[in-house]
Amino acid sequence: MEILGSVPPEQGQAPPPRTPMAYEGVWRFTAPALDCSVPQARHAVRDLLVHQRVPVTEELVQNLLLIVSELVTNAVRHAALLSPEIAVELSIGRDWVRVAVEDNHPYRPKALEADQGQTGGRGLLLVQAITAESGGAYDVEHTAGGGKAVWAALPLAPAVSVAVRATNPRRAR
Protein backbone atom coordinates (compact mmCIF):
# COMPACT_ATOMS: atom_id res chain seq x y z
CA MET A 1 0.00 0.00 0.00
CA GLU A 2 1.33 3.40 -0.92
CA ILE A 3 1.16 6.02 1.80
CA LEU A 4 0.54 9.52 0.50
CA GLY A 5 1.37 12.63 2.50
CA SER A 6 -0.13 16.07 2.56
CA VAL A 7 0.96 19.09 0.54
CA PRO A 8 4.56 18.72 -0.70
CA PRO A 9 7.14 21.12 0.74
CA GLU A 10 8.25 24.14 -1.25
CA GLN A 11 11.04 23.61 -3.73
CA GLY A 12 14.48 23.45 -2.11
CA GLN A 13 13.12 22.59 1.32
CA ALA A 14 13.38 19.15 2.86
CA PRO A 15 10.07 17.72 3.97
CA PRO A 16 9.60 17.82 7.71
CA PRO A 17 9.99 14.39 9.27
CA ARG A 18 6.69 12.97 10.41
CA THR A 19 5.15 9.67 11.24
CA PRO A 20 2.12 8.83 9.08
CA MET A 21 -1.18 8.73 10.91
CA ALA A 22 -2.59 5.22 11.35
CA TYR A 23 -5.50 6.01 9.06
CA GLU A 24 -3.43 7.25 6.09
CA GLY A 25 -3.27 5.18 2.92
CA VAL A 26 -4.70 4.41 -0.49
CA TRP A 27 -7.33 1.75 -1.14
CA ARG A 28 -8.72 0.73 -4.52
CA PHE A 29 -11.53 -1.62 -5.43
CA THR A 30 -13.29 -2.50 -8.64
CA ALA A 31 -16.94 -3.14 -9.36
CA PRO A 32 -19.03 -3.96 -12.40
CA ALA A 33 -20.57 -0.95 -14.14
CA LEU A 34 -24.03 -1.84 -12.85
CA ASP A 35 -26.60 0.10 -10.80
CA CYS A 36 -26.05 -2.24 -7.82
CA SER A 37 -22.45 -1.01 -7.60
CA VAL A 38 -23.58 2.45 -6.43
CA PRO A 39 -24.73 1.41 -2.93
CA GLN A 40 -21.89 -1.11 -2.72
CA ALA A 41 -19.34 1.65 -3.34
CA ARG A 42 -20.99 3.87 -0.71
CA HIS A 43 -20.94 1.07 1.87
CA ALA A 44 -17.32 0.19 1.05
CA VAL A 45 -16.20 3.80 1.53
CA ARG A 46 -18.13 4.20 4.79
CA ASP A 47 -16.82 0.88 6.11
CA LEU A 48 -13.24 1.83 5.23
CA LEU A 49 -13.52 5.19 7.01
CA VAL A 50 -14.81 3.40 10.12
CA HIS A 51 -12.26 0.58 9.93
CA GLN A 52 -9.34 3.01 9.57
CA ARG A 53 -10.77 5.26 12.32
CA VAL A 54 -10.48 8.34 10.15
CA PRO A 55 -11.32 11.49 12.17
CA VAL A 56 -14.32 12.63 10.15
CA THR A 57 -17.46 14.48 11.07
CA GLU A 58 -20.83 13.05 10.11
CA GLU A 59 -21.27 15.99 7.69
CA LEU A 60 -18.03 15.11 5.91
CA VAL A 61 -19.05 11.44 5.69
CA GLN A 62 -22.42 12.38 4.19
CA ASN A 63 -20.78 14.74 1.68
CA LEU A 64 -18.25 12.10 0.72
CA LEU A 65 -20.90 9.39 0.29
CA LEU A 66 -23.01 11.70 -1.87
CA ILE A 67 -19.96 12.38 -4.05
CA VAL A 68 -19.26 8.64 -4.33
CA SER A 69 -22.89 8.02 -5.33
CA GLU A 70 -22.84 10.70 -8.01
CA LEU A 71 -19.48 9.70 -9.50
CA VAL A 72 -20.25 5.97 -9.56
CA THR A 73 -23.73 6.63 -10.98
CA ASN A 74 -22.21 8.72 -13.78
CA ALA A 75 -19.69 6.00 -14.61
CA VAL A 76 -22.43 3.34 -14.65
CA ARG A 77 -24.83 5.42 -16.77
CA HIS A 78 -22.41 6.99 -19.22
CA ALA A 79 -19.35 4.75 -19.47
CA ALA A 80 -20.61 1.17 -19.06
CA LEU A 81 -20.61 0.46 -22.79
CA LEU A 82 -16.84 1.02 -23.05
CA SER A 83 -16.05 0.24 -19.43
CA PRO A 84 -17.81 -2.84 -18.03
CA GLU A 85 -15.81 -2.39 -14.84
CA ILE A 86 -15.12 0.75 -12.82
CA ALA A 87 -12.58 1.43 -10.09
CA VAL A 88 -13.09 3.43 -6.92
CA GLU A 89 -10.02 4.73 -5.13
CA LEU A 90 -10.04 6.24 -1.66
CA SER A 91 -6.90 8.12 -0.61
CA ILE A 92 -6.64 9.38 2.94
CA GLY A 93 -3.95 11.78 4.05
CA ARG A 94 -3.33 13.49 7.36
CA ASP A 95 -5.52 16.47 6.41
CA TRP A 96 -7.70 15.32 3.49
CA VAL A 97 -9.67 12.50 1.93
CA ARG A 98 -9.89 11.99 -1.83
CA VAL A 99 -12.24 9.75 -3.75
CA ALA A 100 -11.73 8.97 -7.44
CA VAL A 101 -13.87 6.94 -9.81
CA GLU A 102 -12.10 5.62 -12.88
CA ASP A 103 -13.54 4.13 -16.05
CA ASN A 104 -12.26 3.33 -19.51
CA HIS A 105 -14.47 5.78 -21.39
CA PRO A 106 -12.47 8.67 -22.90
CA TYR A 107 -15.28 11.26 -22.65
CA ARG A 108 -14.44 13.99 -20.15
CA PRO A 109 -17.72 14.91 -18.40
CA LYS A 110 -18.78 18.48 -17.82
CA ALA A 111 -21.20 19.79 -15.26
CA LEU A 112 -24.23 20.99 -17.18
CA GLU A 113 -26.82 23.44 -15.98
CA ALA A 114 -30.03 21.45 -15.93
CA ASP A 115 -33.32 23.21 -16.45
CA GLN A 116 -36.06 23.16 -13.81
CA GLY A 117 -38.10 20.56 -15.71
CA GLN A 118 -35.38 17.91 -15.69
CA THR A 119 -35.17 15.42 -12.85
CA GLY A 120 -31.53 14.48 -13.48
CA GLY A 121 -28.34 15.90 -14.89
CA ARG A 122 -27.17 17.82 -11.83
CA GLY A 123 -24.76 15.25 -10.36
CA LEU A 124 -21.50 16.94 -11.27
CA LEU A 125 -22.89 20.34 -10.29
CA LEU A 126 -23.67 18.86 -6.90
CA VAL A 127 -20.16 17.36 -6.62
CA GLN A 128 -18.60 20.71 -7.52
CA ALA A 129 -20.79 22.60 -5.05
CA ILE A 130 -20.07 20.24 -2.16
CA THR A 131 -16.36 20.29 -2.94
CA ALA A 132 -16.21 24.09 -3.18
CA GLU A 133 -18.26 24.61 -0.01
CA SER A 134 -15.93 22.23 1.87
CA GLY A 135 -12.80 24.00 0.64
CA GLY A 136 -11.78 20.99 -1.42
CA ALA A 137 -10.85 20.32 -5.02
CA TYR A 138 -12.50 18.51 -7.95
CA ASP A 139 -11.13 17.55 -11.35
CA VAL A 140 -11.15 15.05 -14.18
CA GLU A 141 -7.91 13.45 -15.37
CA HIS A 142 -7.12 11.21 -18.30
CA THR A 143 -5.70 7.81 -17.42
CA ALA A 144 -2.80 6.05 -19.11
CA GLY A 145 -5.26 3.52 -20.55
CA GLY A 146 -7.27 6.19 -22.39
CA GLY A 147 -10.08 6.47 -19.87
CA LYS A 148 -10.62 9.02 -17.13
CA ALA A 149 -10.65 9.44 -13.38
CA VAL A 150 -13.11 11.89 -11.87
CA TRP A 151 -12.08 12.86 -8.34
CA ALA A 152 -12.92 15.09 -5.43
CA ALA A 153 -10.77 15.81 -2.39
CA LEU A 154 -12.17 17.20 0.85
CA PRO A 155 -10.28 18.48 3.87
CA LEU A 156 -10.68 16.48 7.06
CA ALA A 157 -12.34 18.18 9.98
CA PRO A 158 -10.20 18.69 13.06
CA ALA A 159 -9.43 15.39 14.76
CA VAL A 160 -11.07 16.62 17.97
CA SER A 161 -14.52 16.04 16.50
CA VAL A 162 -14.31 12.26 16.96
CA ALA A 163 -12.35 12.42 20.21
CA VAL A 164 -14.76 14.97 21.69
CA ARG A 165 -17.74 12.76 20.92
CA ALA A 166 -16.08 9.79 22.58
CA THR A 167 -14.93 11.61 25.73
CA ASN A 168 -17.37 14.45 26.25
CA PRO A 169 -20.88 13.81 24.89
CA ARG A 170 -22.08 17.31 25.90
CA ARG A 171 -19.63 19.01 23.50
CA ALA A 172 -20.67 16.77 20.58
CA ARG A 173 -24.24 18.11 20.49
The CATH number for 144's domain is 3.30.565.10
- Asked if pLDDT for residue 111 goes beyond 70, the answer is no
Beta bridge partners of residue 71, listed in sequence order: none
Structural domain range at position 36:
25-109+121-167
Beta bridge partners of residue 97, listed in sequence order: 92, 154
Those residues with Cβ within 8 angstroms of residue 118's Cβ, 6 or more apart along the chain or in another chain: none
Instruction: For residue 14, tell me if it sits in a domain.
Output: no
At 132-173, the pLDDT tens digits run 999 999 999 999 999 999 999 999 964 333 433 444 444 444
Instruction: For residue 141, tell me if it sits in a domain.
Output: yes
Instruction: For residue 156, tell me if it sits in a domain.
Output: yes
- Asked if pLDDT for residue 94 goes beyond 60, the answer is yes
Q: What rounded mean pLDDT belongs to the chain?
A: 82
Instruction: For residue 116, tell me if it sits in a domain.
Output: no
Alpha helices in 34-159 (DSSP H): 37-51, 58-79, 123-134
Instruction: For residue 38, tell me if it sits in a domain.
Output: yes
- The pLDDT value given to residue 120: 59
For residue 145, what are the CA distances in angstroms to 37, 87, 104, 164? 22, 13, 7, 45
Instruction: Work out the pLDDT band at 78, boundaries 50, 70, 90.
Output: confident
